[in-house]
Structure 1
Amino acid sequence: MPAVPVDFHRVIVRAPSSGTASGWRMVTPPEDAFDPARVRVSPVGEVRPGDTVIGTVQPHYDQQLQPLDRAQWVGYFSHASQPQEHGARPFDPAHCDWCTHNAYVLGIGAGSGYWTVDGCTTYRPDTLLLVIPAQPAA
């Protein structure tokens, strides 16, 4: 896979906590869910077997799903994340019924550049994920 430059922005990963912000309840992982020092921001296509995906880094969108600006927000998954049995794979609508459904709803097909991770969750090609790598960084 050829190297592709990725714009990285400062990301602050806090230890899990509960609370509200501006009246909205925040969904955060359990207290012992992960060590924040091990979390990495990774392009979706670089998720490997054994990595644990704990959330996404997403741009702000308007009502027409156009990016509003370069600002991004981090969303933790509200379920208990498990290590990946398989790494990321290119999206294949024929993989299962859920993938066929996603292909219809999203209007994408094989070779679209979309990726599948975490079972059959489908991501845009430019998606960044919060990952706890199986192997610590050297």
Structure 2
Amino acid sequence: MDRIRVLFICCHNSGRSQIAEAFLARFGQNRFEVHSAGTDPTAVEPLVVQVMNEVDCDLRDKTATNVRDLLRDNAPYQYVITTAGPNGLHDMPTLPAETVRLDWAFPDPEYVTGSLEQRLAATRAIRDDIRTQVIRFLHDF
């Protein structure tokens, strides 16, 4: 049986989409081929690496990927899920008609403010909310 192809997208591929990719890969029981990308990729956010390490997900060697490269160089994805919400992405490439697009809106860990402890707490909350949404997504399969 072919695995279901899922692509998570956010603006920079520096946090939310990386978290979602890691959780779907972990909880998906090998039923999914999962990737993440950004419309304007940058480096993975260090706080995201730290809070994901707390739940045994190592993102230290992850790099940000450009969504155009993934869509151009790979077979179509059955699901494309934006983690920045429906209005959070600019310049999104056109998707094939058969692709299911879902919009999940999470705050961007890159923009959390406050002391280090406050930023870690906010990033942990984002991580946990994304994990919950990924688990909800899995209930449909």
> What TM-score bracket applies, with the shorter chain setting the length?
under 0.3
- Structure with higher Rg: it is 1
